[in-house]
Structure 1
Amino acid sequence: MKFAALIISFVLIVVLTSQLEARLLLSNGNGFFCLWTSRKSCSKSSPRCLRVQTDATPTYTCKYYRNECQYLLDNCKGATVFGQLGTSVDVSTYCVMNNIGIGSTGICT
């Protein structure tokens, strides 16, 4: 009986905590709602490669995201030039073939 009460208490605490966190995120008007929904809906396994033109001549920089979650959060926040202006491109062609490590940026085609 004590074990069942412990499990019910634990579940109740988790539910209340997540609702409180959601209210805090939703009440702040700085894009946190977007972050909350992105985190809930993204794939945690698909990598992303984004490409940005860095100058007038066709020079590009690519950023290799470990997974789609990181990309969606960055895109939602617009925290970097990649989140604001990045164009999604093929991971193997633009990031892997240009020796750009996961989580880093580098020159790409």
Structure 2
Amino acid sequence: MKFLCLIISAILILSLASQLEARQRFYCLWSTKRSCSKSTPRCIRLQTGTDATAMTAIYTCKYYRSDCKYLLDMCKGETSFGQLGTTVDVQTYCINNNIPIGGTGVCT
């Protein structure tokens, strides 16, 4: 009987925890939408690896059509970085705009 009560309690706790997570994600999306710009493009610079032969870092620059797209991806954490933007030329979009590694900035 105690074992059955323990199983029911565990199931109940797990279901409540998943509902709290859903509320947190909803809040995250709601608050992000309220603070984002739908017209300002956004770039983020990431280090994606290291070239073993040249011993140099490899970078990517992700481009978002709007600040909103970036903030929503970051909020949802859909990838390991939480960024799903289109990959663009690092020199043009990130280095020339003085965007640091892991930083974001306005794309021009």
Give the structure-2-normalised TM-score. Answer: 0.51
* Residue 36 (1) aligns with residue 52 (2): no
The structure whose residues are more often strand, as a share, is 2
- Hey, what does 2:75 align to over in structure 1? 76
Shift of 1:81: 3.8
Q: How many residues align?
A: 67
Aligned residues of 2:41 and 2:106 also touching (Cα < 8 A): no
- Hey, what does 1:46 align to over in structure 2? 40
Structure 1 segments unaligned to the other structure (5+ residues) = 1-25, 93-109
1:42-99 CA distance string (max 9 Å, x none) = 111110001110112311111100000001101111112442694214523xxxxxxx
- Hey, what does 1:107 align to over in structure 2? none
* Residue 91 (1) aligns with residue 107 (2): yes
The structure whose residues are more often helix, as a share, is 1
Give the structure-1-normalised TM-score. Answer: 0.51
Q: 2:49 aligns with which of 52, 55, 63?
A: 55
Read off the aligned partner of 1:28 and give its amino acid letter: A
Structure 2 segments unaligned to the other structure (5+ residues) = 1-19, 51-55, 84-100
Root-mean-square deviation over aligned CA pairs: 2.6
Question: SS at the partner of 2:57?
Answer: coil
Deviates more, 1:73-82 or 1:40-49: 73-82
Aligned residues of 2:40 and 2:106 also touching (Cα < 8 A): no
Cα distance change, pair 43–55 in 1 and its aligned pair in 2 (3 A): same
Max Rg structure: 2
User: Structure 1 segments of 4 or more deviating over 3 A?
Assistant: none
